[in-house]
Chains A and B, each alone.
Chain A
Amino acid sequence: MILLITVTLLAIAASTIKDSKKTLLGIRKGMKMFIGILPAMLNILILVSIFLYLVPGPVLARWLGQGSGFTGITIAGLLGSVSLIPGFIAFPMAAILLKSGVSYSVIAVFVTTLMMVGIITLPLEAKYFGMRVAILRNVLSFVGAIIIGLLVGAFI
């Protein structure tokens, strides 16, 4: 967190020296994006707060934690495949879940399937590539995401 703030401040400084107008434009662009996602972010924070209150830590850890094994990975993969959560919201959510006892491999599988697999957008994808190709890409991506998750979990 301190690293991020330092990097941002350094970037602002360097950018201002080079072109202060462009810097202002960039800051304004960034703040606009921030305000744009704020309501969605607050909604997710509320839902996660309620969820984590209702599901106590030990239960969460049993289903999605270190020892959850393939059950946790499967739950994460399926959830990630059917959800349509933008990364701006998925990563903060993942950070909270991580602190609440969910394992790294489960988080990696969830995040990767969220990015690469889209069951809900499958009909749209089929319009561009054809149904067979769309399904194949999603199935391969699902398998790939599980492999990525297991590797991240093993190396972290």
Chain B
Amino acid sequence: MKKYITRIAESEYIIIVLFGIVLLISRFLHMSFTSGISHNFWMFFIEMITFLPFMFILIGLIDVWFPREKVEKHIGHEAGIKGTMWVILLAMFQAGPLYGAFPIAHLLWKKGSSIRNIFIYLGAFATIKIPMLTFEVGFLGWKFSLLRTLFTLPVFIAIALLMELYLKNKQFEVKQP
């Protein structure tokens, strides 16, 4: 028993378990302050649980049908606009937080990508990954996602151009720590 308690206390379920206990106790004691909170919670929970599984199935299907290896083959070989397009495409098929993109930026650097394309990769990775976009559309709607993507594209390209301008004549390199 004690073992189970410590295991729960150390896991990410601790808040959930505590929350459940507090709700149960307050229901027995007829305390009113938690009813607003539990009303909020159930409202959000039902909304999430009805369509999150669909969203994740869609992401899983995208993942198996569009393998990133196909895109990776093109990186480094193409220069100019074409190279930029491949870098953006590669970034769109990734997943995870931005710091996961740094090692890939190092790889791009080693493969001979331009400074501009490395920062375009970071920008695209941060803002227009497909799994993330699926989520954004699902929760915030088409209009919001489309507008945000439309305005974000020129912004991260501009940032990449500024970075290139600044770093052009300096000895810049992407290290592998």
Contacts and interface: CB of A to CB of B under 8 A. Distances in A.
B139 A128 contact: no
Contacts of A95: 139-140
A135 to B, nearest CB: 12
Contacts of A43: 12, 15-16
A31 interface: yes
Interface SS majority for chain B: helix
B147 A140 contact: no
Contacts of A98: 140
Nearest to B11: A39
Interface centre among B44, B122, B123, B137 (most CB of A within 10 A): B44
Given A25-B60, A30-B53, 14 more contacts: A4-B55, A27-B61, A34-B52, A45-B44, A46-B15, A49-B44, A50-B37, A88-B135, A112-B148, A116-B123, A127-B175, A133-B167, A137-B159, A137-B163
Interface of A: 1, 4-5, 7-9, 11-12, 15, 22-23, 25-34, 39-43, 45-50, 52-53, 84, 86-88, 91-92, 94-96, 98, 104, 107-108, 111-112, 115-116, 118, 121, 124-125, 127-130, 133, 136-137, 140-141, 144-145, 147-148, 151-152, 155-156
Interface of B: 11-13, 15-16, 19, 36-38, 40-41, 44-45, 48, 50-65, 97-99, 102-103, 105-106, 119, 122-123, 126-127, 129, 132, 135-140, 143-144, 147-148, 151-152, 155-156, 158-159, 162-163, 166-167, 172, 174-177
